[in-house]
Amino acid sequence: MKKQLLYLIIGLFFNLNASAIYRSEISDNNLINDGPYIFIMNNELKVKWIENNVLREDFIMPDNFTGIKKKFKLLFNYDDLKRTYLEKPEYGQIYNMADSIGIITDIHGEYHTYIDLLKAMGIIDKNLNWKFGKGHLVVLGDTFDRGDMVTEVLWHLFGLEKQAAKAGGMVHVLLGNHEFMVLSKDLSFINEKYEKVETISNTKYYDLYSDSSVLGKWLRSKPVVITINNIIFVHAGLSIEIVQRNLTIDQINRKFSNKIVGKDPEFVSNNEELTFLNKDKGPIWYRGYFRDTSFCESRIDSILDFYDKDHIVIGHTPNEGIKSLFNNKIFGTDAGIMYKEPEEMLMYKNGSFYKVFITGKRIKL
């Protein structure tokens, strides 16, 4: 009788634990973990994050930042947070003498693919730290929307930018149409995870990137167009209509920074030039290179001549892998990361362009 009772107790123990494990697995599928979101409030830094569906908050100070840095695997220091609020936009965005450039675009919250590609290109090491020396990494916009690990991508880029600068390299984060949308309160394409984040945090998603937040302030300092060596980098493209308006790179960046990104959409729509820049002929929406059948080499020659460059590299318009037009005058680098397509990046090395696969294989273009 005692043995039977013992077996019954043991059986109940294992059944209860099996049931608990099962419930935990189901629950885990519904748990939201996100953050951190860091804000400046009365000259103090406050951090918010969501841990297992629970909103957590704390103040960040030099003596507790080490624990926060470790918890979220951040790549930067306390002083970098405060320094963000002192950064001024750089409108000219002209860089020279770079012998290595890695280009990635339209990450859309696909953190793991982003990390694997940077590893394959030799930009980061196994611990996700910068290993590209004096090289340049260009992110052609659209880190936001669709995917569910946008926060992780942004913080990694924020930290990588600091590490690259210390090594003599640079990380260039450009603004795309999806950055514009989120910062201008258009949440049409956010992942359903971030809708739950809004509910748990009782905060609209775009307010998590307000100009009082570290990431929001950082993004608002970023350009739309840059040049490195003889190459133009822009999210969607520079149309012939932009050239006809004699808009320089400095002017384009200045107008987006001061009058478009994060500004009231009604204000933008009431100004003809701002409306033009934020429509289908503008640099964050244009698709003419690969979608306009009338687009010809003479047009790209006119565009490149106006800016005195030889190549233009864009994202925005998905293709089946990296595509080039007109003897490498145009490169389309949106290889469909958000669709888990070929997973490729473009690399420039000592005057030549290469397609780099997630396996590390390279093909000269």
pLDDT value at position 3? 41
Are 224 and 284 spatial neighbours (Cβ–Cβ below 8 Å)?
Answer: yes
- For the cut 60, the answer to whether the pLDDT of residue 335 exceeds it is yes
- Which phi and psi angles does 60 have, rounded to 5°? -100, 125
pLDDT value at position 28? 55
Mean pLDDT of 129-140: 98
List, in order, residues 6 or more apart from 82 with CB less than 8 Å away: 40, 45
Mean pLDDT of 199-213: 97
pLDDT value at position 18? 34
Least confident range of 59-68, 100-109, 294-303, 333-342? 333-342
Superfamily of domain 94-364: Metallo-dependent phosphatases (3.60.21.10)
Q: What does the DSSP 8-state code read for residue 142? A: -
Reported confidence tier of residue 30, pLDDT bands at 50, 70, 90: confident
pLDDT value at position 6? 43
Domain boundaries, the chain: 1-30, 94-364
Encode pLDDT of 279-293 as tens digits: 999 999 999 999 999
List, in order, residues 6 or more apart from 66 with CB less than 8 Å away: none
Mean pLDDT of 142-153: 97
User: If you average pLDDT over each of 4-13, 43-52, 335-344, which comes out highest?
Assistant: 43-52
Cis peptide, bond prior to residue 36, ω within 30 of zero: yes
What's the mean pLDDT when you consider all of the chain?
91
Give dist(CA 172, CA 157) in Å, integer. Answer: 9
> Which two three-digit tokens encode residue 3?
């043995």
Residues of the chain with pLDDT > 90, as a percent, come to 84
By three-state DSSP, how is residue 262 classified?
A: coil
Reported confidence tier of residue 111, pLDDT bands at 50, 70, 90: very high
- The β-bridge relationship of strands 352-357 and 344-349 is antiparallel
Give dist(CA 130, CA 270) in Å, integer. Answer: 44
pLDDT value at position 14? 35
Mean pLDDT of 41-59: 96
- The reported pTM is 0.90
Mean pLDDT of 265-278: 93
Mean pLDDT of 257-271: 91
In sequence order, which ranges of 31-149 are alpha helices (DSSP H)? 65-72, 78-84, 111-120
